[in-house]
């Protein structure tokens, strides 16, 4: 059997459901070697709490595995906690631990130890409360890898949606959509669909900003003044871009059947449709990074940690997507 690719899995907030997800997913054998960058002590305690019999197999840079772990086992790169975890209770003492797992995993991707990184949810508030400025996984990884611009894309089976703007008040969206920004985001989306998903000539549907895509300027001129000129420029570079189309009709089978991704202008234009289609089985993909990074699409769920009443669907899709992206990268 040829050597397997290796992937890093970070469990995020130790008091939340991230450790549970790592243990639950280990019940099934993965197609690649999956290394959980986490505290062995934490995983042992959570497995006992959940009543799971999961064998933890120690690994480190000098003993990386070359094959997937058997079903019922999990590779662990032991990373010490700041203090023992009480399930469901946040602690500032473990904020540095969370960032250490991310740093180890990302640097492992950068040096070729790992083919990609899959992240479980972190709790931004407790990290900031501990005195460490942290606005999220995406920004942290962009800084760590020296990436000036990244793009947020969510995906579920049968649909990918990338965003021109992300977490902005609605009143600020129109002014944030400039020709330069739209061109930059579209280039990143197109490049990663080609280079990380193996799509030779991506077909991207582009939403208009206004109802009816502006109705010829009667419902807003952003399509005429900003979006259409940007798309024309990019089409001249060989990109296959359809739009701007009205968002209320773009998200229909007629249009989606032959597209590889949708580019939405703002958060609540594109993501409600995707989450309706794939809630609990969607994945967050950070485009533009020099590494592959996917994430679950939900939070830490402190109240569910240790109960066993959680769904691994989003983590499974995040794993499958990372594997797909890495396989596409190495397959001509």
Binding-site positions for a divalent metal cation read 167, 212, 267
Q: Are strands 151-156 and 282-287 parallel, antiparallel or unpaired?
A: antiparallel
**Which positions ≥6 away from 296 have C-beta within 8 Å?**
21, 119, 120, 121, 283, 284, 314, 315, 318
Q: Is the peptide bond before 289 cis (omega within 30 degrees of 0)?
A: no
Pairing of strands 261-264, 203-207: parallel
User: Strands 55-58, 73-78: parallel, antiparallel or unpaired by DSSP?
Assistant: parallel
What is the CB neighbour count within 10 angstroms for residue 122? Answer: 27
State phi, psi for 9 to the nearest 5 degrees. -125, 120
Over its C-alpha atoms, the chain yields an Rg (Å, rounded) of: 21
CA atoms within 13 A on the CB side of 154: 24
Could you tell me which residues are annotated as the binding site?
A: 137-138, 167, 212, 267, 275, 284, 293
Vertex 107, ends 297 and 287: CA angle to 5°?
A: 40
Asked if 75 contacts 38 with a C-beta cutoff of 8 angstroms, the reply is: no
- Between strands 151-156 and 159-163, the pairing is antiparallel
Q: Token digits for 305?
A: 């940690």
* CB contact set of 250 (below 8 Å; sequence gap of 6+): 205, 207, 243, 256, 262
Q: Which residues are annotated binding-site positions for substrate?
A: 137-138, 275, 284, 293
Burial class (CB in 10 A: 0-12, 13-18, 19+), 332: exposed
* Cβ neighbours for 217, distance < 8 A, ≥ 6 positions apart: 223, 224
Q: Please give the Cα distance from 112 to 15 (Å, whole number).
A: 30
């Amino acid at each position: 059997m040829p050597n397997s690719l290796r992937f890093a899995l970070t469990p995020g907030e130790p008091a939340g459901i991230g450790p549970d997800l790592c243990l639950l997913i280990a019940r099934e054998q993965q197609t690649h070697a999956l290394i959980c960058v986490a505290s062995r002590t934490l995983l042992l305690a959570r497995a006992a709490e959940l009543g799971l019999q999961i064998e933890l197999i120690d690994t480190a840079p000098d003993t990386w595995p070359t094959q997937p772990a058997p079903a019922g086992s999990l590779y662990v790169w032991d990373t010490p906690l700041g203090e023992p975890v009480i399930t469901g209770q946040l602690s500032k003492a473990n904020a540095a631990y969370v960032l250490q797992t991310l740093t180890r995993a990302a640097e492992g991707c950068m040096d070729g130890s790992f083919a990609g990184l899959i992240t479980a949810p972190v709790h931004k508030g407790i990290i900031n409360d501990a005195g460490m400025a942290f606005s999220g996984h995406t920004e942290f990884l962009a800084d760590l890898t020296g990436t000036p611009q990244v793009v947020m894309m969510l995906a579920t089976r049968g649909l990918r949606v990338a965003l021109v703007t992300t977490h902005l008040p609605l009143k600020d969206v129109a002014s944030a959509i400039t020709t330069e920004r739209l061109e930059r985001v579209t280039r990143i989306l197109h490049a990663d669909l080609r280079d990380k998903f193996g799509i030779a000539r991506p077909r991207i549907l582009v939403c208009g900003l206004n109802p009816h895509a502006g109705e010829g300027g009667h419902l807003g001129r952003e399509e005429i003044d900003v979006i259409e000129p940007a798309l024309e420029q990019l089409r001249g570079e060989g990109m296959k871009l359809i739009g701007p189309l009205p968002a209320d009709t773009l998200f229909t089978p007629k249009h989606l059947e032959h597209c590889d991704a949708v580019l939405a202008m703002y958060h609540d234009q594109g993501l409600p449709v995707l989450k309706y289609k794939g809630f609990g089985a969607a994945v967050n993909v950070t485009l533009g990074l020099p590494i592959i990074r996917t994430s679950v699409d939900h939070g830490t769920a402190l109240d569910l940690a240790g109960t066993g009443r959680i769904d691994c669907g989003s983590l499974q899709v995040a794993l499958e997507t990372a594997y797909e992206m890495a396989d596409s990268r190495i397959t001509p």
